[in-house]
Structure 1
Amino acid sequence: MAISFAGAFAGHDKALEFRTARAAVLANNIANADTPNYKAKDLSFDALLSNESSKLHLRSTNAKHMSGSSLHGEPEGTMYRTPSQPSLDGNTVDMQREQAEYAQNSLQFDTSFMFLDRKISGMKKALTGN
């Protein structure tokens, strides 16, 4: 029986890709905190998940089964953040929020990496018998 890497990693590899992309967007927000008319951006995991799930084709074996389509219309990918206190120059970056989001994203990246590392370690042990 063959084991595919996609199945073995259980999505942790995709989570790392998302966390890396989100870190880049948040770092860009922090770097542009003093740029006039800069609009803060963020990536939505829900939008990414709905984009990925729309690629799946679910099989229905009964007419009473629910369809696999999404019911919400959230845009996919990068979204602009609604400012709580926009500045006079049109910049919508809130440094405290950006730093907190970046720190939280960093912790979530570390957690995903730890899970992926443990998956790989488990696969190595299964292959070597140690």
Structure 2
Amino acid sequence: MAISLDKAFSVHPKALQLRIERSEVLASNIANADTPGYKARDFDFQAALAGERRKYTSSLERTNEKHINVQSTINDGLQFRTPAQPDTGDGNTVELQAERNEFLQNQLRFNASVKFMTDKITGLKKAINGGQG
């Protein structure tokens, strides 16, 4: 019996990729905290993942080539963040503490996703080896 990695992992590899991309955006915000006129950016992780989930689900439910194939594309979704604090006069909208908190939360969620994938791979290896890890 063949093991389908697409079915085993679902959207989790894409979730990891989105977490990496979000880390890069947040790191850029942190690096530019003192750059005059820099506008903090971010994207809606849940919306991006929901788009991938719809794409994954719609491709699984299509049972005949005559069925309509709904493809969702992730638009980069990068938006400017609305600052909670008033402008300090230099036009920079980075709130360093908020960016650090978002970065930390994103990293924790990335680590949880890696743990999930690792556990899934361990389970698949046990299935392949007949119960021995």
TM-score above 0.5, yes or no: yes
Match of 1:63 in 2: none
Secondary structure in structure 1 of the residue aligned to 2:79: strand
Q: Is the 8 A contact 1:83 1:93 kept in 2?
A: yes
- What is the alpha-carbon distance in structure 2 between the residues aligned to residue 100 and residue 34 of structure 1? 18
Aligned: 1:42 with 2:67:
no
Q: Indicate the structure with greater helix content.
A: 2
Deviation, structure 1 residue 51 = 3.3
Match of 1:20 in 2: 20
The TM-score, its normalising length taken from structure 2, stands at: 0.77
Secondary structure in structure 2 of the residue aligned to 1:34: coil
Deviation, structure 1 residue 13 = 1.1
Counting only pairs closer than 5 Å after superposition, residues 32-111 of structure 1 correspond to structure 2 as 32-52=32-52, 53=54, 56=58, 77-85=77-85, 86-111=87-112
Q: Which runs of 5+ in 1 are unaligned?
A: 60-67, 69-74
What does the per-residue CA deviation read over 1:9-41, in whole Å, with 9 as the maximum and x for residues that have no partner?
A: 132211111111100000000000011111101
Q: Percent identity?
A: 50
Q: What is the alpha-carbon root mean square deviation over aligned residues?
A: 2.2
Q: Which has the higher contact order (CA 8 A, sep 6+)?
A: 1
Most deviating of 47-56 and 77-86: 47-56
Runs of 4+ in 1 over 4 A off after TM superposition: none
Match of 1:114 in 2: 115
